[in-house]
């Protein structure tokens, strides 16, 4: 299969030629009146060089080799039929997306509980120079969201608020960790496009408990903050020529507090998407990348 060349934008420094020196200008001004005056014309300043989008728009094909990396949100925890120590489900969004798009899911190495460090240590082995597409869902566990989900879903208000405060205080450590992950993925899969997914907000905006200053509103705010950090880290990489992009996922109308939530609310899968929620993740990838031809 034809390999792609990643085009990295180059900052072009344009040098503008200097005008005539002061002595020459004086000479032109004092010449005999009958002689033609020297005309000094400024060289036009070229406009900015066109930039090349490092994340190319390319059609998916049945030969597209796809690898998924990340934590429980990529493993599919909460979707049902989970197995193994990584609590992985065949209804995880990478599986659903690959099936719908007709592409080749080489591996889903995502594991519930994985942090950025875990991804770097254990998941990159699935990547190589034949990989065409990579999705990454990671960052939440670096903030200790597992404990947050346990305490908040159990109604332990004091512990929940403590975990939220701790998670928010750790947001400042994420940019460097995410940069390390995205750089490592790009190096391990030099011919691949990289799609980083955000985390869907859990509580519906129409739910009164999500619009006050209670726990629901705080959890949504923390999720938004996490997504902003992730997207900013992705934008930094993209500005440096990495073929990477961010895709957000919206559960509006299907969050906790609605008639048909796409979020689990009890047990060890609490605050993780249901099978319907992961299907929405897959739909967002389809909207971004299209389906196979």
User: Pick the catalytic residue: 89, 112, 254, 272?
Assistant: 272
Return the exposure string of 29-57: e unless at least 16 CB atoms fall within 10 Å of the residue's CB, then b. eeeeeeeeeeeeeeeeeeeeeeeeebeee
Distance CA 154, CA 167 (A): 18
Neighbours of 23 (CB within 10 A): 8
Q: Catalytic annotation on 272?
A: yes
**Is 72 a residue of the active site?**
yes
**Edge-to-edge strand ranges of the sheet holding 133-137:** 104-108, 65-70, 133-137, 193-197, 244-247
- Active-site residue identified among 72, 112, 137, 153: 72
Q: Is 217 exposed, middle or buried (0-12, 13-18, 19+ CB in 10 A)?
A: middle
Instruction: Name the E strands within 119-175.
Output: 133-137
Candidates 133, 136, 126, 135; CA nearest to 63 is 133
Angle at which helix 275-289 crosses helix 93-101, to 10 degrees, equals 50
CB 217 within 8 A of CB 210: yes
For residue 123, the Cα-to-chain-centroid distance in whole angstroms is 17
CA distances from 171 to 55, 167, 175 (A): 27, 7, 8
Angle (nearest 5°) at CA 13 between 19 and 55: 150
> What is the C-alpha to C-alpha distance for residues 277 and 282, in angstroms, rounded to an integer?
9
Element (H, E) at 50: none
Q: Which of 215, 229, 291, 256 is nearest to 62 (CA)?
A: 291
| 128, 163 Cβ separation under 8 angstroms | no
Which residues are identified as catalytic? 72, 272
């Amino acid at each position: 299969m034809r390999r792609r060349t990643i085009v990295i934008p180059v900052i072009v420094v344009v040098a503008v030629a200097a005008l005539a020196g002061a002595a020459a200008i004086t000479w032109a001004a004092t010449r005999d009146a009958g002689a033609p005056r020297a005309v000094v014309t400024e060289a036009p300043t070229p406009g900015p060089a066109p930039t090349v989008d490092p994340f190319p728009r390319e059609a998916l094909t049945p030969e597209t080799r796809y690898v998924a990396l990340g934590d429980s949100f990529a493993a599919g925890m909460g979707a049902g039929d989970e197995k193994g120590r990584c609590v992985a489900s065949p209804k995880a969004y990478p599986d659903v997306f690959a099936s719908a798009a007709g592409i080749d899911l080489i591996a889903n190495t995502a594991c519930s509980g994985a942090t950025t460090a875990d991804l770097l240590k254990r998941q990159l082995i699935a990547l190589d120079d034949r990989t065409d597409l990579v999705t990454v869902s990671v960052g939440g566990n670096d903030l200790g969201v597992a404990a947050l989900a346990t305490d908040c879903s159990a109604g332990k208000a004091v512990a929940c608020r403590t975990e939220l405060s701790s998670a928010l205080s750790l947001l400042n450590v994420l940019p460097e960790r995410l940069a390390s992950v995205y750089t490592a993925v790009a190096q391990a899969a030099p011919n691949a496009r990289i799609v980083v997914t955000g985390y869907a907000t859990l509580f519906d905006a129409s739910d009164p408990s999500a619009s006050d200053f209670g726990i629901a509103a705080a959890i949504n705010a923390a999720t938004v903050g996490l997504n902003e950090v992730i997207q900013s880290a992705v934008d930094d990489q993209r500005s440096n020529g990495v073929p990477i992009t961010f895709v957000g996922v919206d559960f509006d109308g299907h969050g906790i507090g609605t008639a048909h939530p796409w979020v689990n609310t009890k047990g060890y899968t609490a605050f993780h998407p249901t099978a319907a929620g992961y299907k929405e993740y897959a739909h967002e990838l389809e909207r971004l990348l299209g389906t196979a031809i």
